[in-house]
């Protein structure tokens, strides 16, 4: 036997407690504000002492050990923290004093209603004050100050017009949501409008639907192809002014003109630039009429070959595409097509765009954009001059967003399609059940600068949790059901609130039957003193049940050894149980539950040797085909969307808008594979954020405000499962750490 000992001190920061962009500590959802009411609160930390043993035999898993020890804690329902019994008592007393003081103040205002934000004690359980909503985030903040405010100052207008041009050959992804929010939000904030440029119907329809799902409505939908003739005529005008010429240079020749492979040789303009106007007009019209094969002739703008900016090195204005497919809107009329660098500026002018906002990858293109503007000022082409400015792209770590990479995942059937919930396409995000409000809140919180914004997926998931935690109903869901027969149970209807903290959300009935189902992971055949869920002779609470239950025996399948049934009785005279678990009654609907994890194993999949396809996580989707959910699901489905969002109010909602919290499990939404007869659920996000990987173990914190249960799971990094090989946890100690103390790990 080989034994090694180690000690880990883990500061468990469950959410973003510090904002590096403002250099300030941020309030925490689920944990208290650290200067709340003038009182400093401490952040709980877990110090774990463990040892690893290389040996054979069955041992207690670390996941179970951590869960058992932390189950001794109690939930502070107001903050979401798991604290000691004494700490919870102190907090309750302090809040009671505050409540009494509030009642006294209100009583002095005999005939006046409660002020905005005041607490009405009459409609809350037990006379406790209802929890007030936290300050709402101002979605217009990024337009009132910072980069976008400065952009507006450069061109103040009473008639702001922006545009959102889609990618013509792919579906939108998370990064595009920033462009949508900026362009539509900028125009809305300044009382203007946004034009949506579309072209290919295959993607346009999906893009328009996504824009409306996010709560925005284009004031006008335009097509670049409607301006093909106008742009062609202006290209001829450019030739007549000796500002463009037809070139026959191939790729290697053009590269030499631009300084060679290494860019060290002198740049020069090709001989075709010396052609006279009539020759260039004749050749350009020949390109239009099909006299030249694809890629043998192209129209170049005559710019400034000595300029250090490559976008000024006589870039292309028109090309003959290699693949001559009929255009969706113009058919076979055109054989030559304008480039983005030519069409962008002109279409912005045609449509009266005041602020053309795009990402910084186009910052060098601004000079060629403004070069055409200069021609406008000279009245060589058109009169109206739009303005281009660039903001930093949004990059998400731990995934891939490029169309080429996404297409490969789809075509090689690594994922179901462009809308697979593991992808960060906007179709995938929607199918996963992420609310549009969460997506926009995430963008607004990040703000806008010219710097690249690189964000970890976990931060995005925190925005999703904040959106869901107060506005979706709670239901009981069992992933791996095992029958429990309560011998002395009497059937009755129980009235269950959808969200205990919000009575306005209503309630639903659930039938207490003699046989119920609990999750198999909540039962253990052999008890131990530090285990608080169900075991022979052990008492556990069932959520919303009138009494806890006590297991008295169980039966097993002789062939598999799996527990098939647990016999139990009500414990009517015992103490309050230390743990409550979820359950569903006999006859509850079955569901297929898909638990999605990260599609890739690393934060930088494209940096992995061999490419991102070598970084695929084989456990990115786990399916529970025989899960059970309580019948309250049907009421939740009928009343969807949850939460109600602007983009889901006025049109028929899809199954992804049926969102709820599966108590003690995760947040879920219905998948598009659902039918009237089959419920298919996708996990939107876990209940609490996974902490950073520590050594050879990844820690996951989960908490249910309704269940009063705290659990921690440990994962061996190499196995990615709750079984930690031959290692096990020896001791877990909860400590109290002073506010502001940071970890060096």
CATH number of the domain to which 483 belongs: 2.40.240.10
> What value, to the nearest 5°, has the Cα angle with vertex 222 and ends 216 and 225?
150
- Whole-angstrom distance, CA of residue 354 vs CA of residue 715: 53
Of 573, 572, 554, nearest in space to 564 by CA: 554
Bridge partners of residue 5, in order along the sequence: 51
Residues with Cβ within 8 Å of 257's Cβ and at least 6 positions away in sequence, in order, are 249, 267, 268, 269, 270, 305, 313
> What value, to the nearest 5°, has the Cα angle with vertex 279 and ends 277 and 285?
100
- Whole-angstrom distance, CA of residue 661 vs CA of residue 97: 32
Last residue of one domain, picked from the residues 371, 391, 411: 391
700 belongs to a structural domain: no
- Whole-angstrom distance, CA of residue 27 vs CA of residue 701: 19
Specify whether the CB–CB gap between 724 and 66 falls below 8 A.
no
Last residue of one domain, picked from the residues 581, 604, 625: 581
User: What does the pLDDT read at residue 381?
Assistant: 66
**CA 601 from centre of chain:** 18
92: tokens are 């309750």
Distances (CA, A) of 415 to 288, 424, 597: 42, 12, 13
Bridge partners of residue 223, in order along the sequence: 198
User: What does the pLDDT read at residue 80?
Assistant: 53
User: What does the pLDDT read at residue 81?
Assistant: 62
Total count of domains within the chain: 2
Question: Which of the following is catalytic: 91, 128, 285, 393?
Answer: 393
Tens-digit pLDDT profile for residues 51-99: 333 333 333 444 444 444 444 566 665 565 666 767 776 776 676 666 5
Last residue of one domain, picked from the residues 562, 581, 600: 581
Of 601, 631, 641, nearest in space to 618 by CA: 601
425 belongs to a structural domain: no
User: What does the pLDDT read at residue 95?
Assistant: 66
Residue ranges, the chain, pLDDT below 50: 1-71, 103-135, 691-745
- Whole-angstrom distance, CA of residue 280 vs CA of residue 236: 9
Same domain, 271 and 374: yes
- Whole-angstrom distance, CA of residue 498 vs CA of residue 504: 9
Same domain, 374 and 484: no
> CB neighbours (10 Å) of residue 730?
12
Dihedral sign for Cα 99, 103, 104, 105, please: positive
Tens-digit pLDDT profile for residues 371-429: 987 775 555 666 788 999 999 999 999 999 998 999 999 999 999 999 999 999 999 99
576 is catalytic: no
Specify whether the CB–CB gap between 611 and 565 falls below 8 A.
no
6 belongs to a structural domain: no
Helix (H, G, I), strand (E, B) or coil at 386: coil
The number of CA neighbours under 13 Å toward the Cβ of 194 is 25
Of 410, 412, 414, 390, nearest in space to 402 by CA: 410
Judging by DSSP bridges, how do beta strands 659-662 and 666-670 pair with one another? Answer: antiparallel
- Whole-angstrom distance, CA of residue 157 vs CA of residue 151: 11
Same domain, 245 and 368: yes
User: What does the pLDDT read at residue 328?
Assistant: 81
365 belongs to a structural domain: yes
Q: In what order do the strands lie in the sheet with 584-585?
A: 580-581, 539-542, 549-556, 563-570, 481-486, 515-519, 584-585
The domain in which residue 235 lies consists of 224-391
User: What does the pLDDT read at residue 156?
Assistant: 95
Tokens 């949501």 locate to 177
User: What does the pLDDT read at residue 142?
Assistant: 92
Q: In what order do the strands lie in the sheet with 337-338?
A: 244-247, 298-301, 316-319, 337-338
Specify whether the CB–CB gap between 479 and 519 falls below 8 A.
yes
Same domain, 250 and 360: yes
- Whole-angstrom distance, CA of residue 339 vs CA of residue 315: 9
The CATH number given to whatever domain includes residue 282 is: 3.40.50.620
User: What does the pLDDT read at residue 383?
Assistant: 77
291 is catalytic: no
What burial letters (b/e) apply to 446-477, b meaning 16+ CB within 10 Å?
bbbeeeebeeebbbbbbbbbbbbbbbbbbbbb
4: tokens are 């090694």
177 belongs to a structural domain: no
185 belongs to a structural domain: no
Question: Which of the following is catalytic: 167, 306, 412, 487?
Answer: 167
Tens-digit pLDDT profile for residues 507-543: 999 999 999 999 999 999 998 888 889 999 999 999 9
642: tokens are 């949850």
User: What does the pLDDT read at residue 377?
Assistant: 57
128 is catalytic: no
CA dihedral 228, 229, 230, 231 (to 10 degrees): 50
524 belongs to a structural domain: yes
Question: Which of the following is catalytic: 403, 459, 578, 692?
Answer: 403
99 belongs to a structural domain: no
> What value, to the nearest 5°, has the Cα angle with vertex 671 and ends 617 and 633?
125
- Whole-angstrom distance, CA of residue 463 vs CA of residue 324: 45
Of 293, 300, 256, 296, nearest in space to 275 by CA: 300
The number of CA neighbours under 13 Å toward the Cβ of 154 is 14
């Amino acid at each position: 036997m080989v034994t090694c000992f180690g000690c880990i001190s883990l500061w468990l920061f469950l959410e973003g407690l510090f904002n590096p962009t403002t250099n300030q500590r941020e309030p925490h959802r689920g944990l208290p504000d650290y200067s709340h009411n003038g009182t400093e609160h401490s952040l709980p930390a877990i110090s774990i002492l463990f040892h690893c043993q290389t040996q054979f035999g069955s041992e207690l898993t670390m996941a179970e050990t951590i869960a058992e020890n932390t189950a001794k804690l109690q939930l502070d329902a107001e903050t979401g923290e798991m604290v000691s019994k004494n700490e919870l008592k102190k907090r309750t007393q302090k809040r009671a004093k505050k409540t009494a003081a509030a009642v006294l103040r209100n009583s002095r205002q005999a005939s006046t209603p409660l002020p905005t934000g005041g607490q009405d004690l009459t409609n809350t359980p037990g006379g406790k004050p209802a929890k007030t909503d936290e300050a709402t985030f101002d979605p217009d903040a990024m337009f009132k100050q910072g980069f976008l405010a400065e952009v507006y100052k450069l061109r103040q207008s009473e008639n702001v017009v922006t545009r959102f041009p889609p990618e013509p050959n792919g579906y939108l992804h998370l990064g595009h949501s920033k462009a949508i929010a900026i362009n539509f939000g900028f125009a809305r904030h300044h009382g203007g409008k946004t034009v949506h440029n579309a072209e290919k119907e295959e993607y346009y329809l999906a893009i328009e639907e996504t824009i409306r799902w996010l709560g925005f409505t284009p004031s006008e939908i335009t097509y670049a192809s409607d301006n093909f003739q106008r742009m062609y005529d202006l290209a001829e005008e450019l030739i007549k002014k000796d500002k463009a010429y037809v070139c026959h240079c191939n790729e290697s020749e053009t590269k030499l003109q631009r300084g060679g492979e290494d860019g060290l040789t002198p740049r020069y303009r090709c001989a075709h630039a010396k052609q006279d106007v009539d020759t260039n007009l004749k050749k350009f019209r020949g390109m239009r009429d099909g006299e030249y094969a694809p890629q043998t002739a192209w129209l170049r703008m005559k710019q400034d070959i000595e300029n250090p900016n490559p976008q000024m090195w006589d870039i292309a204005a028109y090309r003959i595409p290699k693949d001559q497919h009929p255009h969706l809107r113009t058919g076979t009329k055109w054989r030559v097509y304008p480039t983005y660098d030519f069409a962008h500026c002109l279409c912005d002018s045609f449509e009266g765009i005041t602020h053309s906002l795009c990402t910084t990858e186009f910052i060098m293109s601004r000079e060629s954009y403004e070069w055409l503007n200069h021609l406008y000022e000279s009245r060589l082409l058109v009169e109206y001059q739009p303005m281009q400015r660039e903001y930093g792209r949004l990059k998400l770590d731990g995934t891939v967003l490029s169309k080429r990479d996404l297409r490969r995942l789809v075509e090689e059937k690594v994922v179901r399609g462009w809308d697979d919930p593991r992808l960060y396409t906007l179709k995938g995000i929607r199918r996963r059940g992420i609310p549009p409000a969460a997506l926009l809140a995430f963008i607004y919180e990040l703000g806008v600068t010219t710097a690249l914004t690189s964000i970890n997926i976990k931060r995005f998931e925190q925005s999703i949790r904040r959106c869901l935690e107060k506005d979706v109903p709670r239901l009981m869901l069992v992933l791996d059901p095992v029958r429990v027969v309560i011998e002395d149970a009497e059937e009755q209807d129980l009235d269950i609130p959808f969200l205990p903290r919000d009575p306005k959300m209503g309630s639903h009935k659930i039938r207490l039957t003699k046989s119920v189902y609990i999750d198999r992971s909540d039962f253990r055949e052999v008890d131990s003193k530090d285990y608080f869920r169900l075991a022979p002779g052990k008492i556990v609470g069932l959520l919303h049940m009138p009494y806890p239950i006590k297991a008295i025996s169980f039966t097993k399948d002789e062939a598999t050894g799996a527990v098939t049934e647990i016999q139990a009785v009500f414990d009517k005279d015992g103490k309050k149980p230390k743990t409550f678990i979820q359950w569903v009654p006999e006859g509850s609907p079955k569901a297929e539950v898909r638990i999605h994890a990260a599609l890739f194993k690393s934060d930088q999949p494209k940096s992995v040797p061999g490419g991102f396809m070598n970084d695929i996580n084989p456990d990115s989707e786990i399916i529970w085909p025989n899960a059970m959910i309580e019948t309250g699901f049907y009421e939740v489905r009928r009343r969807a969307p949850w939460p109600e969002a602007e983009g889901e109010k006025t049109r028929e909602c899809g199954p992804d808008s049926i969102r709820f919290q599966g108590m003690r499990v995760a947040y879920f939404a219905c998948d598009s594979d659902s039918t009237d007869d089959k419920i298919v659920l996708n996990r939107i996000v876990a209940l609490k954020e996974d902490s950073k990987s520590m050594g050879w173990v990844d820690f996951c914190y989960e908490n249910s405000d309704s269940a009063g249960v705290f659990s921690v799971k440990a994962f061996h990094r190499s196995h990615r499962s709750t079984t930690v090989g031959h290692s096990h946890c020896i001791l877990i100690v909860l400590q109290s750490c002073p506010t502001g103390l940071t970890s060096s790990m």
